[in-house]
Amino acid sequence: MCACTLRIACVCAQFLEALCRISQLKALPSDDQIFEAQMEGWLAEESADAGSYMLKLAVEDPARHKKMVRTQRPAWGVGQEQPIWRAIDHLCHMLIVKCQGGLARKSGNGYKLKEAQVERFFSGQTKQDAKEDAKKR
């Protein structure tokens, strides 16, 4: 294995470890909460994921969102009540939905990301900013 491949593998392993650790510290909805929101009709079937749930909750019911973040955030060293693989899945959905544009994302895209979406996310640039930059060029 060359040094470059080893470096990439180390960075990948560190990224995965970070996802695992963050998933145990972040307030995340449970599958039951997402299902209930879908049954109540305020979360559409195509956006029944943790990312859409948290963003929509923050917009439509800020007090409930704040309470959830405060009460469902695991204590240090305790971890989530849900299995770690579900917490990681929810965290990944939150990241993907955010990269795709949050609540304004196009439905039907699933959880596929384009390189431009990821670059825009990490730069802090919005879709509107990108359109304005393109017009200037």
| Residue labelled with tokens 């060293």 | 77
Q: What is the domain count for the chain? A: 1
pTM (two decimals): 0.76
Quote the mean pLDDT of the chain. Answer: 82
Label residue 86 by pLDDT band (50, 70, 90).
very high
Tokens of 96: 């993907």
Label residue 85 by pLDDT band (50, 70, 90).
very high
Q: Range of 123's domain?
A: 3-136
pLDDT at 123: 83
Question: Tell me: the pLDDT tens digits for 51-80?
Answer: 889 999 999 899 999 999 888 887 777 777
Return the axis-axis angle of helices 84-99 and 50-60, rounded to nearest 10°: 70
Sequence-separated (6 or more) residues with CB below 8 Å from residue 50: 28, 29, 34, 89, 90, 91, 93, 94
